[in-house]
Amino acid sequence: MELIIIRHGESEADLLGVHEGRADFPLTDYGREQAGKMAAYIAAKWKPDIILASTLKRAWETAQFLQKATGCELVAETDLMEFNNGVLAGLPREVAATKYPLPPGGRPPHIPIDGGESELEFRFRAEAVFQKILHEQPTDGRIAIVSHGGMISKLINAFLGLPVANETIFPTGDTGFHVLQTKNGRKMIRILNSQVHLES
């Protein structure tokens, strides 16, 4: 099985300077341009058999570009949504820092943010959707996953079998993609955070 894990393009929240998470902003015009370039590149180099995507607008719209370029099935997967950041969703960062400051030393991983989920709950959700993909998709298939930076990092943590509570982050740029492979019980990271499609 080969997994092509893709982050959405630039969203309106990026320009507004607000916390995104579960705030449901669409792509910007530039984000659509990024998505179009990504879709053309993936279709030519890593054409998937199926696309699974978060239902938040910025990811779903990005996935639609890929679906149009490849002609393959696009399936909504709500568990691929970004971290549920509760009260922070859509708030300007400076307002959030004043109104909901982090406790000294940061929020413990088992404590949920007000109205949202904890880091542990987020990781468990990533583990669950990752296992669902492994068990429900063909083992010889190529699956594209269109999601969000935080979720993508958790999915790679799950792929590598890293401890549930850890501080390892795998950043992903706008429409950046990672290629992960499982074969005969072995795991391989072939590409991390490529944005080669944006270079031309």
Residues 20, 176, 158: CA angle, nearest 5 degrees: 80
In b/e form, how buried is each residue of 110-140, taking b as 16+ CB within 10 angstroms? eeebeebbbbeebbebbbebbeebeeebeee
Residue 58 assigned ligand-binding role: yes
Q: How far, in Å, CA of 150 to CA of 8, rounded?
A: 12
Q: How far, in Å, CA of 65 to CA of 67, rounded?
A: 5
Q: 96 Cβ partners below 8 Å, 6+ apart?
A: 19, 88
Give the pLDDT of residue 139.
81
Domains of the chain: 2-198 (3.40.50.1240)
The pair of structure tokens assigned to 195 is: 């944005």
Active-site residues: which are they?
8, 82
Q: How confident is the model at residue 184 (pLDDT cuts 50, 70, 90)?
A: confident
Q: How confident is the model at residue 181 (pLDDT cuts 50, 70, 90)?
A: very high
Q: How confident is the model at residue 93 (pLDDT cuts 50, 70, 90)?
A: very high
Give the pLDDT of residue 131.
95
Q: How far, in Å, CA of 25 to CA of 11, rounded?
A: 6
Q: Which helix (H) or strand (E) holds 5?
A: strand 2-7
Q: How far, in Å, CA of 51 to CA of 142, rounded?
A: 9
Question: 48, 143 in Cβ contact below 8 A?
Answer: yes
Quote the pTM value.
0.95
